[in-house]
A and B are shown apart, each in its own frame.
Chain A
């Protein structure tokens, strides 16, 4: 469990603006189209609300907000990626998600070597596939979930 990049090289790829991001596939339960989201008061601004996922109420995090990107209306392309980490089920609202890629480990650069200029706390590495750069995000850090080792 400690290092998903090492154990599993498949990633669900999604887009925010023009950047590609990747999430280790073993976190991902399903990918859903966006239906009605109910706002939940008294929560951090990046919590978009909750949805009804086949009888289960699942919180949705607006990843654009979380990354402080400019707000963008939900479109037909928008998707909610349902993740399950340590018994916590959360949805991530993203602009678009369509593919699963295998990124070999040697094509992933560890960002620890890079300059800390960027808010790179939640960036686990940068993968290169063909000519695309894929930002691999650290899901537990983004969601503030501590993983017991």
Chain B
């Protein structure tokens, strides 16, 4: 059977599961006693195992199987959870993540075999085995007490079973010592029992029994409607069994509980656990509801988007007709109506494309945890506004820049604990990641309470790297110096570390954000910390633009890049170092002739004439663009020029005008 058609679904779903796993693992690290979390991870591993073996990804299936084994051991109380196990689970998670990544790229899981990991998992299992094989002998001695290591999970099930008036038994089977195929024999026994009852616990684990990893005794805890006698009868029909012992657990139930509580000597904590585990079902139900999402093929959305853009084009065309036909009032109304429709259609489509930024944020807690460990710093990550929605295209692109910024904060920003204590700061550093919508844009802030940006050092480095001259540095204000950080090939890290400091960080961040139509700003106070502010447009596909004439050609300038429009007399233009500038509102304004930048042929203007200048901005910087005529403001649909014409200087894309012709969109950001 051809599975490739399910590949996309597999990838998408696995990613979702992995994300859940990551989150749950992090929570588990904080609350290792929380059984519901363990169950969740178990459930995910199990689902992944099923999915991957269906798809024929055996390496994934194998790894998840081993994870499942180990998790089962923890769950059934055979294995105590500790940081080592959690770390191992994290490594497993990373490996799974790699596999899925590989599947996504190549359609196959690749040749990576996680032999080491599986071995590690197995050794945990086997050390666990030795302890459990040691304990049964004890257990038999203290038969009456039934001091078996029942986990809270089993415990709960037993309680529930008791409430539902089901029988609960402990079945202890001893196989004939001459038995040749122990696993096959026990398989028959388990199978027989499963027909009559539900096996909720086994010692050793079912997997170990299947692998013959036991002597010749094993214990099963059952919940059943059937009677003890029925079980006995069924089992007695199976050969090669030396002894069958069926103990009714009901009468001992309370006793076990007490024993466990005493053993743990933490009765309160215990109660809490029981509460939380009863909550498990509730929270799971809740999750099922909130997690309901519809996956929409991006191609279909693009198609819908295309339709909307056609509508907008026809709307503009209708508006043109309207101008020449003023007597038709109905026409006017119709157009207004259509305008309303297109606007709401646009909104609706945009919303489908919107994804909560949570999808990107999710990976950061783990990253911060790992980094702070590696660097020996104590760092807490605060996140808020995860529900803020951004365009799908932004989601895919924003991850790397944010990783860079957070790494920078942790590596360069936050000091090590001693330095912090000396500086009278809390030992624990904080990184804040905040997202919120602001008008027509989305703001993402990465803030740390570290040492801030050392202006003098940046300045020195800038001179050393030959980015600025000594003279230049003296006339620069702090903000301008901070901007040097974004210069290609600039890095202030004295030690080049794995985390950051290869000098490729911030300029890449800047380029990426700008390619998404956004801006990055920095706010830094020495000794107090720094804040990187990313501002991104909410939508990327439809924007307001000013249409202008340059010579005979039409160009569109995005409205959110325009600060103002003015006229200046050509006589006021001065030449400074071969650049044209004008004094405007008591500040020098660089003047750029669009006709030069776009190689348009225009007639030379007389000195007396006035120029129409569109003043564009990028962050704090402004520049004046000389154009020939202003045509007007219009809603335009951004179209890509395609792969063949990617990265053209000064051009950000194209749009289709009402008359069907193509106008190019000017990339004003590239002029700065």
Contacts and interface: CB of A to CB of B under 8 A. Distances in A.
A63 interface: no
Nearest to B552: A39
A42 B639 CA distance: 18
B30 interface: no
8 contacts: A41-B599, A41-B600, A43-B648, A49-B662, A55-B309, A57-B640, A59-B645, A90-B642
A36 B661 contact: yes
Interface string B287-316: 000000000000000000010011001000
A50 B309 contact: no
A48 to B, nearest CB: 11
A52 B644 contact: no
B496 interface: no
Interface string A19-59: 00000000000000001101111110001011110011111
A52 B663 CA distance: 10
Contacts of A39: 553
A98 B362 CA distance: 57
Contact of B663 (A38, A42, A47, A58): A38
Contact of B643 (A35, A38, A88): A88
Interface in B622-672: 639-645, 648-651, 654, 656, 660-664
A56 B639 CA distance: 7
A89 interface: yes
Nearest to A51: B662
B598 interface: yes
A37 B5 CA distance: 40
Contacts of B642: 57-59, 88-90
Given A52-B661, A57-B654, 12 more contacts: A35-B660, A36-B660, A36-B661, A38-B654, A41-B598, A41-B664, A42-B648, A47-B645, A51-B662, A88-B642, A90-B644, A143-B644
Given A36-B661, A57-B641, A52 B656 contact: yes
A41 B644 contact: no
B650 to A, nearest CB: 6
Contact of B310 (A36, A47, A55): A55
Contacts of A145: 644
A87 interface: yes
A52 B649 contact: no
- Most chain B beta carbons < 10 A, residue from A35, A43, A145: A43
Contacts of B639: 56-57
Contact of A59 (B310, B641, B649): B641
B643 A87 contact: yes
Interface residues of B, number: 27
Provide the main secondary structure of the chain A interface.
strand
Nearest to A50: B662
Contacts of B656: 52, 55, 57
Contacts of A56: 639
Nearest to B653: A57
Nearest to A42: B649
- Most chain B beta carbons < 10 A, residue from A39, A52, A56, A88: A52
B643 to A, nearest CB: 5
A49 B651 CA distance: 13
Contacts of A87: 643
Interface in B581-617: 597-600
B664 A40 contact: yes
Given A52-B656, A52-B662, A42 B651 contact: yes
Nearest to A56: B639
- Most chain A beta carbons < 10 A, residue from B309, B599, B643: B643
Interface string A49-83: 11110011111000000000000000000000000
A143 B656 CA distance: 25
Interface string B143-183: 00000000000000000000000000000000000000000
A146 to B, nearest CB: 11
A53 B625 CA distance: 31
A34 B40 CA distance: 61
